[in-house]
Amino acid sequence: MLGLAPAVLLTAFLLLIPLGLMLHESVQTYTPGRIGSDEAGPLTLENFREILTVSYLSYFTDTFLLSMIAAIVAVIVCFPLAYRIARLSGRRARAMWIFFLMSLLFVSALAKVYAISVSFGPVGILPYVTRAIGISQNSLLAIQGVVIIGLLHYLMPIVTLSLIGAVQGVNPRLLDASQSLGASQLETHLLITLPLCGRALLSTFLFATTLSISAFVIPLILGRGRVAFLSNLIYTRFGEISNYPSGAAFAIVLLSLVAAALACTTFLTRSRRRKAAA
């Protein structure tokens, strides 16, 4: 236990102190025209009251809903890819795929976002796609779609790499045994592979959702100012209008919601596992 002390102390300093400062800032008073909080002002919950109004509901739904959709699609699309890569017989081919996926992470996020912006902009394929499905390229649905594509582009290499390890952890003999006992490939996949990868799929989904929720540049550029995430509002508070208390309150609310969602999902999964074991 003593050996863990430095790590615990370091985590406490790097995580708890900034969090404490943020929490303290979130209950400070802000005076318009000044930079940051009014240190002489009284403590207040006004910054939280302001956020928890109907006006800001769309920012919360955009942030959480689009992030979850992107994470679900990423897991669905990347799992077969990860499975294929993990089951490649040649070590070199597997290494090449992993190298390719890793290299995608090193490309500038801004360059990728602008590439998507141009590809799905008025001179790209968006007008054709929106015309084909009968919506305006200026519609909210089209913009939300492009934001999800941006999030997917960001998530896919990370999700695939995460799932490769999970698939490699499944003993291939179990799959052989299933098929030798008469199960089809599909039945084997649905009844053996998926359940064995279930925890990894769930944790990858949660990880991808969390990454998407904290995305900043993607909604900033691809959201065309009409779809904005909470991270964009936090930036505006700190970087544009210098209302640090309001920005800190947003950050605390966002962190609390993400932590609550993670805790709920973990709790539900554990209780399901306990029931199954019983």
| 228 lies in the binding site for another protein (CB under 8 A) | yes
Q: Are 29 and 245 in contact (CB under 8 A)?
A: yes
Nearer to another protein, 117 or 203 (CB): 117
Which residue number, 126 or 158, has a Cβ lying nearer to another protein?
126
x/- string (CB under 8 A) for another protein, residues 110-149?
A: ----x--xx--xxx------------xxx-x---------
Considering the rule CB under 8 A, would residue 220 count as an interface residue with another protein?
yes
* Residue number, 32 or 182, with CB nearest to another protein: 32
Of residues 225, 263, 264, 272, which one binds another protein by CB under 8 A? 225
- Distance between CA atoms of residues 227 and 140, nearest Å: 8
In the list 90, 134, 182, 239, the residue contacting another protein (rule: CB under 8 A) is 239
Among 29, 214, 242, 265, binds another protein (CB under 8 A): 242
- Residue 52 makes contact with another protein by CB under 8 A: no
Cβ(223)–Cβ(143) under 8 Å? yes
Q: Is residue 100 a contact residue for another protein (CB under 8 A)?
A: no
Residue 93 CB, nearest distance to another protein (Å)?
A: 39
3-state SS string for the chain: CHHHHHHHHHHHHHHHHHHHHHHHHHCCEECCCCCCEECCCCCCCHHHHHHCCHHHHHHHHHHHHHHHHHHHHHHHHHHHHHHHHHCCCCHHHHHHHHHHHHHHHHCCHHHHHHHHHHHCCCCCCHHHHHHHHCCCCCCHHHHHHHHHHHHHHHHHHHHHHHHHHHHHCCCHHHHHHHHHCCCCHHHHHHHHHHHHHHHHHHHHHHHHHHHHHCCCHHHHHHCCCCCCCHHHHHHHHHHHCCCHHHHHHHHHHHHHHHHHHHHHHHHHHHHHHHHHHC
Site stretch for another protein (CB under 8 A), options 16-24, 94-102, 193-201, 270-278 = 16-24
Selected binder of another protein within 1, 5, 53, 275 (CB under 8 A) = 53
97 touching another protein, by CB under 8 A: no
Q: Which is nearer to another protein, 61 or 171 (CB)?
A: 61
Strand partners, 37: 30
Q: Name the one range near another protein by CB under 8 A: 95-103, 181-189, 231-239, 254-262.
A: 231-239
Residues that bind another protein (CB under 8 A): 13, 17-18, 20-21, 24, 30, 32-36, 39, 50, 53, 55-56, 58-59, 114, 117-118, 121-123, 136-138, 140, 220-221, 224-228, 232-233, 236, 238-244, 246
